[in-house]
């Protein structure tokens, strides 16, 4: 349990690390945001480079990201006691080092504790608070969860106050358990249509630190009422609200289902963003317990659109678009947006879909893993990964296959 904040001390304004990067360097940010360790590699001579060059520094050929050995050796280590940049000055002392990577180039990296010249280290490609890709080096197998520098790069739930928006989601109960196990201080779980029976209510009650409160994302008043009560305390918000209803455009209830899906998934996200977003962005630098992450649990069908889920896919596609705007707003305070793309879950509404489906525990574990690693995108389920691979390879072929019901 972290110490209570002293109300007489100033609240730090959100500051960000230097964020200027070339356009090509954003390829590294995409890899880091998905948890991939990939470095620039020459397509002609095969040499790796760092940082991201426009052309190969050896032969001036084109470069592309390729998987690389994630290891190296420390050449030198420095502790900056009074850094020049305001962001690092407020978090000093800050350790940096020069590392000789096993794949060839040398790189200036953020350095874990107890790393000395000559030590072998594991390398991590991570996102800093400005959303830019950086290298972090630490001893292999070392537990970094207590390191303040690592803490700045991730969204560890430990000692955080978390809001899960929909207790009726298949992942809500295992997610609450996983967050408490990870050390979350409190977990508030929203209950839509609280007048309806909640089968898992008794199980939620057995989890220490978990509280159930009414929350209907289709109601402005409900969202605003909860924001007035806990909006200034939420440090991780996990939006699990969903409305899975199968049916194409010609289904008898297609219009009503699509409208409700939009209200819950897309406009529900907008309602949350309007009242919780500014408070979280404003607390991005509020000490060790500042706001760190917003998680949108969405469907892969927001990117790959099967006709049999026309309205549902459209709602999740709209939520992905709203999510990009929300990411930009949260980034001003250094708060990360994690997009989770799941395949069909073990929900009654996906009963007719073929296996494998995504279980609640698998989805919950993936969310907590994404927070612990500071990611921006997590794909859950074999079907979801397969659909995205096919979409990247041949979008038109996937469109035809989905039209034929071939998932």
Q: Nearest Cα to 191, choosing from 166, 169, 210, 174?
A: 166
pTM of the model: 0.94
pLDDT number for residue 143 = 87
In the structure encoding, which two tokens stand for residue 197, read together?
A: 């029976």
Q: Do residues 178 and 154 make contact, with C-beta atoms less than 8 angstroms apart? A: no
Cβ neighbour number for residue 211 with a 10 Å cutoff: 13
For residue 60, being part of any structural domain is answered with no
Tell me whether strands 106-111 and 94-101 are parallel, antiparallel or unpaired.
Answer: antiparallel
Reply yes or no on whether the pLDDT at 96 is more than 80.
Answer: yes
Condensed to tens digits (0 to 9), the pLDDT of residues 175-230 reads 999 999 999 999 999 999 989 999 999 999 999 999 999 999 999 999 999 999 99
Reply yes or no on whether the pLDDT at 5 is more than 90.
Answer: no
Q: Kind and range of the H or E element at 237?
A: strand 236-239
Q: Nearest Cα to 122, choosing from 71, 74, 68, 69?
A: 71
Condensed to tens digits (0 to 9), the pLDDT of residues 112-165 reads 998 999 999 999 999 999 999 999 999 988 888 889 999 999 999 999 999 999
Reply yes or no on whether the pLDDT at 7 is more than 80.
Answer: no
Reply yes or no on whether the pLDDT at 350 is more than 90.
Answer: no
Percent share of the chain, pLDDT over 70: 98
DSSP tally for the chain: helices H, then strands E? 12, 14
Condensed to tens digits (0 to 9), the pLDDT of residues 225-264 reads 999 999 989 999 999 999 999 888 988 899 999 999 999 9
Q: Do residues 44 and 115 make contact, with C-beta atoms less than 8 angstroms apart? A: no
Q: List the single range of 84-88, 164-168, 363-367 with lowest mean pLDDT.
A: 84-88
Q: pLDDT category, 3, cuts 50, 70, 90?
A: low
Q: How far, rounded to the nearest angstrom, does the alpha carbon of residue 138 sit from its chain's CA centroid?
A: 22
Domain with residue 94: its CATH number is 2.40.50
When pLDDT is averaged across residues 363-375 and rounded to a whole number, the result is 97
Reply yes or no on whether the pLDDT at 2 is more than 70.
Answer: no
Same domain assignment for residues 398 and 307 = yes
Same domain assignment for residues 321 and 358 = yes
When pLDDT is averaged across residues 344-360 and rounded to a whole number, the result is 88
105, burial (CB in 10 Å: exposed 0-12, middle 13-18, buried 19+)? middle
Number of structural domains the chain divides into: 2
pLDDT number for residue 287 = 67
pLDDT number for residue 348 = 86
Distance CA 136, CA 403 (A): 44
For residue 36, being part of any structural domain is answered with no
pLDDT number for residue 289 = 73
Domain with residue 280: its CATH number is 3.40.50.720
Q: Do residues 381 and 388 make contact, with C-beta atoms less than 8 angstroms apart? A: no
Q: Nearest Cα to 234, choosing from 276, 269, 192?
A: 276
Same domain assignment for residues 134 and 225 = no
The chain-wide mean pLDDT, for the chain, equals 93
Q: What are phi and psi of 46, to 5 degrees?
A: 80, 15
For residue 10, being part of any structural domain is answered with no
For residue 39, being part of any structural domain is answered with no
Condensed to tens digits (0 to 9), the pLDDT of residues 40-90 reads 999 999 999 999 999 999 999 999 999 999 999 999 999 999 998 998 998
- What domain range is 254 assigned to? 161-404
Same domain assignment for residues 238 and 315 = yes
Q: Do residues 390 and 401 make contact, with C-beta atoms less than 8 angstroms apart? A: yes
pLDDT number for residue 21 = 85
Q: List the single range of 238-242, 266-270, 288-292, 363-367 with lowest mean pLDDT.
A: 288-292
Q: Kind and range of the H or E element at 71?
A: strand 71-80
Distance CA 241, CA 247 (A): 19
Domain end marker among 150, 176, 209? 150
pLDDT number for residue 248 = 87
pLDDT number for residue 22 = 87
Q: Nearest Cα to 241, choosing from 316, 152, 336, 144?
A: 316
DSSP string for residues in 331-395: HTTT-EEEEEEE--BS-GGGTTSPSP-B-HHHHHHHHHHHHHHT-SEEEESHHHHHHHHHHHH-H
For residue 380, being part of any structural domain is answered with yes
The alpha carbons of the chain give a radius of gyration, in whole angstroms, of 22
Same domain assignment for residues 99 and 175 = no
Domain end marker among 128, 150, 172? 150
Condensed to tens digits (0 to 9), the pLDDT of residues 278-308 reads 999 988 877 667 899 999 999 999 999 999 9
For residue 381, being part of any structural domain is answered with yes
């Amino acid at each position: 349990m972290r110490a209570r904040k002293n109300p007489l001390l100033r609240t730090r304004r959100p500051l960000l690390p230097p964020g200027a990067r070339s356009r090509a360097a954003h390829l590294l940010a995409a890899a880091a945001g998905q948890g991939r360790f990939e470095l620039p590699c020459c397509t002609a001579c095969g040499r790796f480079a760092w940082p991201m060059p426009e052309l190969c520094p050896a032969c001036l050929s084109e470069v592309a990201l390729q998987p690389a050995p994630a290891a190296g050796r420390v050449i030198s280590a420095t502790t900056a006691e009074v850094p020049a940049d305001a962001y690092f000055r407020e978090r000093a002392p800050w350790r940096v080092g020069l590392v000789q990577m096993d794949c060839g180039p040398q790189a200036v990296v953020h350095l874990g504790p107890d790393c000395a010249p000559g030590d072998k280290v594991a390398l991590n490609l991570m996102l800093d608070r400005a959303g830019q890709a950086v290298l972090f080096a630490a001893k292999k197998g070392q537990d970094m969860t207590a390191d303040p520098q690592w803490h700045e790069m991730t969204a560890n739930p430990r000692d955080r106050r978390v809001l899960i928006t929909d207790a009726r989601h298949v992942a809500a109960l295992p997610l609450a358990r996983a967050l408490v196990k990870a050390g979350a201080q409190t977990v508030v779980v929203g209950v839509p249509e609280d007048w309806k029976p909640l089968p898992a209510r008794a199980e939620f009650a057995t989890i220490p630190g978990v509280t159930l409160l009414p929350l209907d994302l289709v109601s402005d008043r409900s969202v605003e009422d909860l924001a007035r009560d806990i909006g200034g305390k939420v440090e991780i918000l996990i939006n699990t609200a969903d409305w899975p209803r199968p049916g194409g455009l010609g289904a008898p209830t297609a219009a009503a289902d699509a409208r409700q899906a939009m209200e819950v998934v897309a406009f529900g996200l907008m309602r949350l963003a309007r009242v919780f977003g500014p408070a979280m962005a404003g607390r991005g630098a509020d000490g060790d317990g500042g706001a760190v992450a917003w998680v949108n649990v969405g469907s892969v069908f927001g990117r790959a659109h099967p006709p049999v889920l026309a309205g549902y896919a459209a709602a999740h596609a709209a939520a992905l678009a709203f999510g990009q705007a929300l990411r930009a707003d949260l980034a001003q305070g250094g708060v990360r947006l994690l997009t989770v793309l799941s395949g069909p879950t073990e929900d009654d509404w996906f009963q007719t879909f073929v296996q494998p489906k995504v279980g609640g525990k698998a989805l919950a574990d993936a969310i907590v893993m994404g927070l612990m690693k500071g990611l921006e995108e997590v794909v859950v389920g074999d079907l979801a990964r397969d659909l995205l691979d096919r979409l990247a390879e041949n979008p038109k072929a996937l469109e035809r296959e989905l039209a034929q019901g071939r998932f």
